[in-house]
Structure 1
Amino acid sequence: MSTPDISPTAATSPTVSTPGAHRPRPFDRVLVANRGEIAVRVIRTLKRLGVRAIAVYSDADADAPHVRLADEAVHLGPAPATESYLDPDRIVAAAVATGAEAVHPGYGFLSEHAGFARACREAGIVFVGPGDEALEIMGDKIRAKLHVAASGVPIVPGVSDPELDDAALVAAGEGVGFPLLVKPSAGGGGKGMQVARDASELAAAIGAARRVATAAFGDDTLLLERLIERPRHIEVQVLADAAGTVIHLGERECSLQRRHQKVVEEAPSPLLDAATREHIGRAACDAARSVGYLGAGTVEFLVSDVAPDEFFFIEMNTRLQVEHPVTEVVTGVDLVEQQLRIAAGESLAIAQSDVRFEGHAIEARVYAETPHRGFLPSTGAVLAWRPAAGEGVRVDAGIAEGQEITAHYDPMIAKVIAYGTDRVQAIERLDRALADTVVLGVDTNVGFLRRLIAEPDVRAGRLDTGLIDRMPEAGAGVVDPSPALVEAAARRFADDEARERLMVDAAGPTAWRTATGWRPGVVRAPEVLLAPRDHPHDVRTAAVASAADEAATEAIVRVGDDGVVWVHHDGEAAAFVRLDRRTHAQRRRDAAERGGLAAEPELRAPMPGTVTAVFAADGDTVEEGDAVVAIEAMKMEHRVVAGLDGVVRIAVAVGDLVARDQAVARIEPHAEPHAASDQE
């Protein structure tokens, strides 16, 4: 099996080859029941195989890349996923109407929905995925743990009784011992998971996890697991055909996580040796075999960093994984093609002895999010998009310039994958690829990803699921923009102002009105007052020289409809707003009138979303740090907390839609007591 070619000319394709790739196409017409980068990735394999690709889309995705790439597309409905991508009836109807023989669900949405798979089969359409038994058992974390434990696969100690209420769960959790991880039984992706280190934290964690589970999955069943400190998260890719053949394609290291969501993944794991790889691979195959698995699946384990031969089953994902490209790159196997051929009834053309691992691959997930605001989702129009290219680089993406990133869907917009002959080369190539990735118009985590893979522990392969949380800069504060970024933004503001003056003076401008910085006998460089968009109090004064320096001319600059200037230069990106001197002076006066209070009295929504909870009534007394409002968007719940003591005035209700920076409450600080006079 040869190492895959991931040249720049194929930067957004699967770019892998599979034994037996010249076999007849498995289907003639396949509908892809998903969106974004995974829909694009599946469609590319369909086209390579000569299969007609059918896309589906919501109102928000009418002109999305996956729609343009497909051979035909079907409109599903409004933007909310519950009325489009998560509606089994609409998708089955679209498949029937277009004559699709099979439906590929991608990941997320309905990919692990047993009812959807059954509906496809009842309509005479092949569901590209496992059978009902695997979906039903492995889709329920409680059942899955009990089931694989009966097959001899080790599991993490915990509580998995769906009949227990909150009080009983707290009592049972105390019996297991702290710290504990509270997990929704349904769903995946880390959504709803909470950590509890004592009984009081457990009670609060159970309430929060139930709310998220109900909203996201329609099922508030929870399970508790002993939290293994500094664990490694390692998953094994399996393939299984209808004849009962089950093989594994090695493991992926997925320990770099934030809020239980994977951020960077690689293959192979720097922790495992060949013997342990084979041991954990056999356990994964046993888990898949126990449910008569069919297709591509992933068995996830927690592995002790100090004792790699000790591993515990977490769950099985009965679908393609986000991080599947790293396995494809080091094995040369197109997993989507394997899914399609297995679904068509073909036997695996690969035996376990055929699997070879060559080189090292590492993947970084690019999210539309704002690291310095706690990694909250970012929305807006994509003003510039330039994927990285180069030797050993692959980019899986589903965005285009002009596309609107909304709060309706997951914030992951692309994946950057790098391959090297060894781990060092793979990481170096990933860093360069991230530096070359240009996304303007929405905040992204690209800068954070570069800082992450530069961490000494990451470079050395000393990984665990808490590493990101221990990074001192992880989401705390904003990286100071470089002088080149400030200069490029200032120049754009100055140029725009000059154009506006010329338009105003179209009737006949004079030097007295149009000469910027003009003084008798000298022309001063114009000065621009600007600040980072999210830190308007961090004001900078930039003098714009008469000729652009080399760095400024190399910068990529875009201006949003709101006047915000976005700049990318030398691997950095930032957004700026311009301030006039009158506005700047007013802000300083406002700060003085607050009497030196460190916090703003207004509590504002950190992201656009839906109000899911209001924790205080209007007029209640709150203390600094108290949760006031909870807002949910893009699979994430965020709590807005009081920044000071005082009386709260609530401005929203549960169910309200709020915009980024919209005021949701106000804290009226307690009046300072008057000092006693000498006469009293």
Structure 2
Amino acid sequence: MPDSLQSAEMFHTVLVANRGEIARRVIRTLRTLGIRSIAVYSDPDADAPHVREADASYRVGPAAAAESYLNGAAILEAARASGAQAIHPGYGFLSENAAFAVACAAAGIVFIGPAPRALEVMGDKIRSKAHVAGSGVPIIPGIDAGGLADEEIADAAAEVGYPLLIKPSAGGGGKGMQVVRGPEDLPEALATARRVASAAFGDDTLLLERLIERPRHIEVQVMADARGHVIHLGERECTLQRRHQKVVEEAPSPVIDERTRARLGIAACAAAASVDYLGAGTVEFLVAADRPHDFFFIEMNTRLQVEHPLTELVTGLDLVEMQLRVAAGQPLGISQNEVRMNGHAIEARVYAESPARGFLPASGPVLAWTPAPDVRTDSAVESGSVVTADYDPMIAKVIAYGRDRGAALATLDRALGQTVLLGVDTNIAFLRALLAEEAVRAGDLDTGLIDRMPPFVDPEPTGLALRAAVAATPRTEETRAAASGTLWRSGSGWRAGGGAQPRRSLFATDAGEILSAEAPADPPVGARTAVDGDGAIWVHADGVTSRLQPLTRRAAMQRQLAMNAGPAAASHPELRAPMPGTVVAVHVTGGARVRAGERIVTIEAMKMEHPIIAPHDGTASVETIVGDQVHRDQVLARVAADPAE
């Protein structure tokens, strides 16, 4: 702590070393406390909401996170230039980086988080488990496979017992995890886990532990001050996950009773105290669905969590304010006996992705954004923002509160239906389908629930949506159809022998369905529309958002003929981009003969690669090059089938 900052004083200037909704959320509390806020930004974020909402802002690099938000030197330089006394790292990026915490201390700037030792101990899954076990925190039976030969690992695995879960020690986000049901599957699983761990983290050290069947993911919020006081603020249920990424969270957990809550709290506080913890942290546990009274330590996240608003709503406490105060040397100001949990809160993460397309990431300009009333929405975007493929696809969190779980669920579902985001695909419709699942409503959760759901299908646009789309469609020569003649081009709807007829428009949905609707006599009420750069109509009506592409009658006829062709329709010659992204590889040259399933082009979006493959044997023609920025549905290549086919 700088000598100029006395223990009872609050900071006057704090730099927020993050972006998006968490940067805006921290700035909100800084403003409430009268503290000057400093934002940092990369080139694509120069006009982002968090930049405009801060008192001052500094550029820290180009789009790549490694050169901007992970550039500790640039962030420290911005802190020095702005006169910031402290840096709030948010979550992700540098929030759990021990080297950055050391650099902050060397620069005389307070890192709003725990000391480097806590970051180092809790940042390693193997080390953290061994460490907290010494403080009486229950851990899952397992072994550290570092330095062991495969034969030794097999012997140890037999002692732990199958089924087993293999996970990289240095990893996160589920990368490299392998489930092993029996000893015959162990060699291949070890090889796969090592290969993925080495590629993803540069470290192939593995941890093997007993697999908890149908697990629930329960985490406990802790807060500690520099005077040795550690309290917990109850638990959060984070079981609803897809590919090990949280989707919906709630507080309190519907399965944890008061006695188990107290035991969880004691274990979480013991884990934090074992590393002389300071500030906000989360201790994560696995709970077997059929034995909710038994829990096992997974890891400790040494930072604020995405889902921290749940705890704020049920306790009435501002966790960011508490972080700031304890970082400034002030006491917690609240004892464990004074913590109260009232009501129920549920949070849904809104991602820029297309669930009906296998959850492919989405990007593009936000044509319209209106959060729902009467709930808390922490968002990274507003109307006019651009969602890029450079960062995490989470663009908002919708958090509902109710007197009980049923009321909170109903409020969240209603709020999601009222949330308007046009121009970028989101998972909002999927979230509503998830909340409607019988098991979710009953609180009968496990981490595999989402994976067992059937493939998601976008809901049909309603009649109101179609009428609104007709009203919003620009009346161009093309959309009036291809025929010539003054009466046709007039768009009046006049027909020989029939007088004026209602004008009908044709649209294609993202699923390829062709829909038609008449022009409404009066402007539709209760719908929002916007037109994107490809001429598609985005419409929000009756709680559903749809993207409708206007069609000429000729185009509609061609599509219908292709659909009537049956299975042959699956072999359409055009290969289109499933999402906006960057072409990172072109695998064939024009005129090359290709086989069905052969990779033609690869595009990258949201740090994930997506291959575009040949639908049938034939001759390829490529219409893009490496480095191209392509938009959704853009034709990237064609594969002309042989005449015989």
TM range (shorter): 0.7 to 0.9
Cα offset for 1:547? Answer: 3.5
Cα offset for 1:378? Answer: 0.8
In structure 2, do the counterparts of structure 1 residues 347 and 612 end up closer, same or farther at CA, with 3 Å as the change threshold?
Answer: farther
Corresponding residue of 2:476:
497
Kept in 2: contact 1:196–1:202 (CA 8 A)? no
In structure 2, do the counterparts of structure 1 residues 177 and 609 end up closer, same or farther at CA, with 3 Å as the change threshold?
Answer: farther
Which range moved further: 564-573 or 510-519?
510-519
- Structure with higher RCO (Cα < 8 A, 6+ apart): 1
Cα offset for 1:197? Answer: 5.6
| Residue 481 of structure 2 corresponds to residue 481 of structure 1 | no
Kept in 2: contact 1:135–1:318 (CA 8 A)? yes
Kept in 1: contact 2:462–2:542 (CA 8 A)? no
Aligned counterpart in structure 1 of residue 429 of structure 2, from 423, 431, 447 = 447
Corresponding residue of 1:285:
269
| Residue 539 of structure 2 corresponds to residue 539 of structure 1 | no
Aligned counterpart in structure 2 of residue 428 of structure 1, from 395, 398, 410 = 410
In structure 2, do the counterparts of structure 1 residues 593 and 447 end up closer, same or farther at CA, with 3 Å as the change threshold?
Answer: closer
Distance 1:218 1:487 in 2: 55
Mapping for residues 220-231 of structure 1, pairs under 5 Å: 221-231=205-215
In structure 2, do the counterparts of structure 1 residues 620 and 166 end up closer, same or farther at CA, with 3 Å as the change threshold?
Answer: farther
In structure 2, do the counterparts of structure 1 residues 478 and 513 end up closer, same or farther at CA, with 3 Å as the change threshold?
Answer: closer
Distance 1:58 1:260 in 2: 28
Cα offset for 1:667? Answer: 7.3
Distance 2:56 2:222 in 1: 32
CA-to-aligned-CA distance 1:269-316 (integer Å, 9 cap, x gap): 100110000011111111111112111100001101111121111111
SS of alignment partner, residue 134 of structure 1: helix
SS of alignment partner, residue 310 of structure 1: strand
Which ranges in structure 1 are unaligned for 5 or more consecutive residues? 1-22, 674-680
Mapping for residues 335-354 of structure 1, pairs under 5 Å: 335-354=319-338
| Residue 52 of structure 2 corresponds to residue 68 of structure 1 | yes
TM-score normalized by the length of structure 1:
0.83
SS of alignment partner, residue 525 of structure 2: helix
Kept in 2: contact 1:192–1:213 (CA 8 A)? no
In structure 2, do the counterparts of structure 1 residues 72 and 132 end up closer, same or farther at CA, with 3 Å as the change threshold?
Answer: same
Corresponding residue of 1:677:
none
In structure 2, do the counterparts of structure 1 residues 241 and 612 end up closer, same or farther at CA, with 3 Å as the change threshold?
Answer: farther
Corresponding residue of 1:568:
540
Corresponding residue of 1:458:
440
Corresponding residue of 2:379:
397
Cα offset for 1:665? Answer: 7.7
Which range moved further: 98-107 or 419-428?
419-428
Distance 1:656 1:172 in 2: 49
Distance 1:257 1:44 in 2: 29
- Percent identity among equivalent residues? 57
| Residue 382 of structure 2 corresponds to residue 411 of structure 1 | no
Distance 1:341 1:115 in 2: 23
Cα offset for 1:88? Answer: 0.8
Cα offset for 1:597? Answer: 5.7
CA RMSD of aligned residues (A): 3.7
SS of alignment partner, residue 401 of structure 1: coil
Kept in 2: contact 1:186–1:221 (CA 8 A)? yes
Cα offset for 1:516? Answer: 2.6
Cα offset for 1:648? Answer: 10
The residue type equivalent to 1:523 in the other structure is A
Kept in 2: contact 1:25–1:50 (CA 8 A)? no
Distance 2:380 2:20 in 1: 4
Distance 1:458 1:401 in 2: 32
In structure 2, do the counterparts of structure 1 residues 400 and 174 end up closer, same or farther at CA, with 3 Å as the change threshold?
Answer: farther
Corresponding residue of 2:525:
553
Aligned length in residues: 632
Distance 1:404 1:647 in 2: 38
The residue type equivalent to 1:90 in the other structure is A
Cα offset for 1:578? Answer: 1.2
Distance 2:176 2:576 in 1: 23
TM-score normalized by the length of structure 2:
0.88
The residue type equivalent to 1:529 in the other structure is L
Cα offset for 1:591? Answer: 6.8
In structure 2, do the counterparts of structure 1 residues 579 and 650 end up closer, same or farther at CA, with 3 Å as the change threshold?
Answer: closer
Distance 1:158 1:542 in 2: 61
Kept in 1: contact 2:479–2:550 (CA 8 A)? no
SS of alignment partner, residue 497 of structure 1: coil
The residue type equivalent to 2:135 in the other structure is S
Corresponding residue of 1:235:
219
In structure 2, do the counterparts of structure 1 residues 403 and 175 end up closer, same or farther at CA, with 3 Å as the change threshold?
Answer: farther
Distance 1:554 1:260 in 2: 37
| Residue 68 of structure 2 corresponds to residue 84 of structure 1 | yes
| Residue 91 of structure 2 corresponds to residue 115 of structure 1 | no
| Residue 528 of structure 2 corresponds to residue 528 of structure 1 | no
Mapping for residues 109-258 of structure 1, pairs under 5 Å: 109-163=93-147, 180-186=164-170, 188-190=172-174, 193=177, 203=188, 207=192, 210-211=195-196, 214-215=199-200, 217=201, 219=203, 221-258=205-242
Cα offset for 1:486? Answer: 2.0
Cα offset for 1:484? Answer: 1.9
Distance 2:576 2:361 in 1: 15
Aligned counterpart in structure 2 of residue 366 of structure 1, from 334, 350, 353 = 350
Which ranges in structure 2 are unaligned for 5 or more consecutive residues? 1-6
Distance 1:665 1:174 in 2: 52
Aligned counterpart in structure 2 of residue 327 of structure 1, from 296, 306, 311 = 311
In structure 2, do the counterparts of structure 1 residues 86 and 192 end up closer, same or farther at CA, with 3 Å as the change threshold?
Answer: farther
Aligned counterpart in structure 2 of residue 584 of structure 1, from 542, 548, 556 = 556
Distance 2:155 2:613 in 1: 32
SS of alignment partner, residue 234 of structure 2: strand
CA-to-aligned-CA distance 1:127-180 (integer Å, 9 cap, x gap): 000111111111122221222223332222344334469999799778866655
Which range moved further: 261-270 or 220-229?
220-229
Cα offset for 1:28? Answer: 0.5
SS of alignment partner, residue 476 of structure 2: helix
Corresponding residue of 2:4:
none
The residue type equivalent to 2:238 in the other structure is C
